[in-house]
Amino acid sequence: MMVAMAVPTNTITTASYCAIAKVLRSRGRALLLSSLSPSSVTICNNHNQNNNGRLPSPLTLSSFARGQSQWVPSFSFCTAAAADTDAATVGSNTNKNEEEEEKKKKDPEITIKEAAEMLDIRVGRVVKAWRHEEADSLYVEEVDVGEAEPRTICSGLVNFVPLHLLQDKKVVVLANLKPRNMRGVKSCGMLMAASDASHENVELLVPPEDSLPGERIWFGSEDEKENQPAAATPNQIQKKKIWELVQPHLKTDASYTAMLGLHVMRTSAGAVVSTSLKNANIS
């Protein structure tokens, strides 16, 4: 049986065609579209769209519909196994959505705190520091982070921290960033600092005096230290943009304590702080 709907053919867009065909496909039916001409009714292919968004020119002559002594443009719905290929094409958007949903199940979005727990943030101690020979704004530091050899790290602190104050200083190090070549020096980490909104005042974060180089820093209560997951690899940090996700949520509070939202940045010896910058950004 064929059911006709009087709809002007030249107003049917590909989007409308796809919406109707999607319903029909679920019922094992195909869609045939008539032309305005009484001498031909055509099956049109939905995925060859012309420039103005209309359906393409006819591909195959078929049958026609007639009503009340005059020819009317119509949609005809009938069972047609031959149209399976077009129906499958129409359903491609549905399949794509299903694939995206499946991907989300396999790789669900993580919370900010879960992302922060993937960072390898450690207590460090600057063993040696000097001016970068090729960059006026950079220091080069050798930093003890509890490994066999000190890490070489470049920091843009020349305009903010006097060189003599870096020597033997306890610092906070983000240790699982991918190494970067900074004007000929391979930098393997980042010293974390607080800054005001104008970035005119910058100061290094300070771990407690009794904290030990190499200790991994966490966010939360004292009890959460034992529940720290393993840190992600530098490749994972870069690929998933973990630092970019976490950094906007790092601040100092009104008492100068470094925070991730409501979670304190903590070592076994106490909280990480800024010396004088409150409600400041951390990077």
pLDDT per residue over 146-177, tens digit each? 999 999 999 999 999 999 999 999 999 999 99
pLDDT at 110: 78
Q: Are 275 and 195 in contact (CB under 8 A)?
A: no
Q: Is the pTM of this model over 0.75?
A: no
pLDDT at 208: 98
Produce one character per residue of 149-173: b if its CB has 16 or more CB atoms within 10 Å, e if not.
ebbbbbbebeebbeeeebeebbbbb
The mean per-residue pLDDT over the stretch 118-128 comes to 98
Q: Is the pLDDT score of 228 beyond 70?
A: yes
Type of residue at 243: W
Query: Which of 70-74, 145-149, 172-176, 242-246 is predicted least confidently?
Result: 70-74
Q: Identify the band that residue 117 occupies on the pLDDT scale cut at 50, 70 and 90.
A: very high
Q: 29-43, pLDDT tens digit by residue?
A: 444 444 334 333 333
- Quick one: how many helices (H) and strands (E) in the chain? 6, 22
Euclidean distance between CA atoms 70 and 5, whole angstroms: 14
